[in-house]
Amino acid sequence: MAEAQLQQFLEKVRQLNAFVALSEAQPALREALRACSQHHDVVALAAEHGFEISRRWGDSSTEPLQSQPVPADQLNLFSSSCPAAGQERVDLIASGAHWRLERIHSCLASSPAGFWYDQTETEWVLVLRGSATLQFEDEAKPRDLCVGDTLVIAPHRRHRLLTTDPDPGTLWLALFWRADA
């Protein structure tokens, strides 16, 4: 681990410890923490009290990694700004006759109530930054995905997006292909 990453990790631990200490000293804060139902709620509550606990270990700044002009055929997967809360932005990276590779940037995104994806293509996803919760129609419990997790979704396997991270959002790499083509 590089020294900068170690310092980032230690600072997050300090922030978490201070937030815990405050919640133990203030019963109302402890009750508010108990009422949190997901990670995003805890992060938001901590931020309301001046604690920054949202950055995961190893995450870099949300600023673009490249400040100089980039050639048209070169893309930095991490350099996009976060879409508005509740939105996703899809960027086509490359495609062929029966496949496409996309970068998907989500911010507190979720599928509309009652909506299920039912795709004709196989989809492989990789979480590059952030986290997400997916629900498959044929599974009782939702699946939590975080940085580095991959998932292959077979054609016509109905699924929905329950939630993604707030700003800086969840960044995905998604490959779609048709096996029958």
Kindly report, residue by residue over 97-156, the tens digit of the pLDDT.
Answer: 999 999 999 999 999 999 999 999 999 999 999 999 999 999 999 999 999 999 999 999
Q: Model pTM greater than 0.75?
A: no
Residue 61's pLDDT is: 44
Residue-wise pLDDT for 25-76, tens only, equals 889 889 998 888 767 778 778 878 887 776 555 444 444 333 455 566 777 7
SS (H, E, C) the chain: CCHHHHHHHHHHHHHHHHHHHHHHHCHHHHHHHHCCCCHHHHHHHHHHCCCCCCCCCCCCCCCCCCCCCCCCCCCCCCCCCCCCCCEEEEEEEEEECCEEEEEEEEECCCCCCCCCECCCCEEEEEEEECEEEEEECCCCCCEEEECCCEEEECCCCCEEEEEECCCCCEEEEEEEECCCC
More confident residue, 150 or 16: 150
